[in-house]
Structure 1
Amino acid sequence: MPLAEELEACEVEILDGATVKRVLSAATTNVVYTASAQTADWGALLAPGDTLDLRIYQLSALVGRGAPTTVTLMF
């Protein structure tokens, strides 16, 4: 939820360890990591048993990127 912001925008970093593989940006709280992007980044689609580390930032017109939240998705 935006805090005193005109809109809610975010950036999501797709991580491979400490390396950022891809940055997804959106003017909403939803981003899509497409099948073609997954294949380009990992050589195949993510599948059951795979994990994906993400760093999520809310964007602010006043201060830019906020403090990140890091999560791991399990498929």
Structure 2
Amino acid sequence: MAALLVEMAARLNVTAEDAPLAALRAAGVLERMAARVGREAAGALCDDGLSAEAVASRVGTTFPRPWSCS
């Protein structure tokens, strides 16, 4: 997965030079996808019984208030 993301970033950088508007659109799509997938993954971890604080800690960030596992 990480290699795929690195490749996508490289391609977006090239696209940003050649077609900045297309790169901006693609970046927006990726942002929305990442936010949705992140919420779904965090929800799945919460469903498995992890607290919101534990989820945040395991991904190396802090717990964003007012988000919770409920």
TM-score, normalised to structure 1, is 0.23
Structure number with the bigger relative contact order (C-alpha 8 A, sep ≥ 6) is 1
- Tell which structure's C-alpha radius of gyration is larger: 2
TM-score, normalised to structure 2, is 0.24
Q: Larger helix proportion, structure 1 or 2?
A: 2
